[in-house]
Amino acid sequence: MDDVIPYTVKARPDTGLYNAKLGIWLFLSSEVMLFGALFSSYILLRLGSHDWPNAAELQNIPLGTFNTCLLITSSVTMILAWVALKENNFSLFRNRLGITILLALVFLCVKAYEYHLKFEHHHFPHDSTYLAIYFTMTGLHALHIIGGVVLLSYHWLRGSVLWKKDPERLTNRVEVGGLYWHFVDLVWLFLFPVMYLL
Amino acid sequence: MEQSHDIQKEVRRYLMLFPVLLVLTFISVGISSLHLGTTITVILILTICVIQGTIATLFFMHLISEKQVVYFLLTMTVFFLSAMALIIYHYYDLPNGGTYVP
């Protein structure tokens, strides 16, 4: 009996996608619903409030801008890591993925520092609707970043094993990991202006 | 050979879009500090945001060359998300419903 899972590398003839790619798009759809519900809540709360604080006065915009640049850069290094695998250059892949992970960790450090500044100024989630939704959305996003770091670190540490056995499968896995990473970046591209600039 | 050429073309595209995304971020920050009025600021910043999002999804997530099943999946997601939001907004008395806690 052949117990190999089909379509882990080659695309299914009906969907044109390999298993993991169909899976990640289904997962990202559920993520769109999750963050979409939170953004809808934000709009509803903001439109329904009689007053809303000026985000620019509460937030450290230079730090937020720096973090946005970090995530954009990490998206580029992530896709370049995948390109390196396509070009059969594993060491270049590892370097580029390493930079991506490093940028994500710096992002988390900056975010933690921002939270520290908020708490130092006695700005807690229970203090206002704005702060409640700010901590909920940025906290959930930070959890996604942590999840991404775990996933990418696994590929960085253990990728060589699969690369020797089945390089095409690793390339597909990295592509799927990249799709998740770009989605996390995309969420931040919307979170930053909504929470810091408007 | 042809595949290698295609990859190089893609890399050039990513490297070209990278500064575009960064510049758009700085433009958003600049607009927010100009005090153009709430409506204009919201429209301009959200427009930039949508442009950045479009670049990220179309090129970095390769949605521009994705299979039909992915488009179908995303269309369904947008449909259900919009339905959820519109139903809630419809039954929510906006002017008095939300409470701002200073």
Reported pTM? 0.92
> What's the number of CA atoms in the CB half-sphere (13 Å) around residue B70?
22
Residue A54 with chain B: CB contacts under 8 Å: none
Decide if B101 touches A, using CB distance below 8 A: yes
What average pLDDT does chain B have? Answer: 87
CB A198 within 8 A of CB B45: yes
Q: What CA–CA distance (Å, rounded) separates A149 from A105? A: 8
CB contact under 8 A, B56 and A79: no
B33-80 pLDDT, tens digit each: 998 888 899 899 999 999 999 999 999 999 998 999 999 999 999 999
Q: Which two tokens stand for residue A88?
A: 């059969």
Q: What CA–CA distance (Å, rounded) separates A38 from A50? A: 20
A115-174 pLDDT, tens digit each: 999 999 999 999 989 999 999 999 999 999 999 999 999 999 999 999 999 999 999 999
Inter-chain Cβ pairs, chain A and chain B, closer than 8 A: 139
Q: How confident is the model at residue A48 (pLDDT cuts 50, 70, 90)?
A: confident
Q: How confident is the model at residue A67 (pLDDT cuts 50, 70, 90)?
A: very high
**If we measure between CA atoms, which residue out of A173, A138, A149 comes closest to residue A18?**
A173
Instruction: Measure the CA dihedral A143/A145/A148/A153, to 10°.
Output: -110
Question: What confidence score (pLDDT) does residue A110 get?
Answer: 97
ipTM, two decimals, is 0.90
Q: What CA–CA distance (Å, rounded) separates B81 from B84? A: 5
Question: What confidence score (pLDDT) does residue B3 get?
Answer: 65
Q: Which two tokens stand for residue B101?
A: 């806690």
Decide if B58 touches A, using CB distance below 8 A: no
pLDDT exceeds 60 at position B97: no
Q: What CA–CA distance (Å, rounded) separates B24 from B27? A: 5
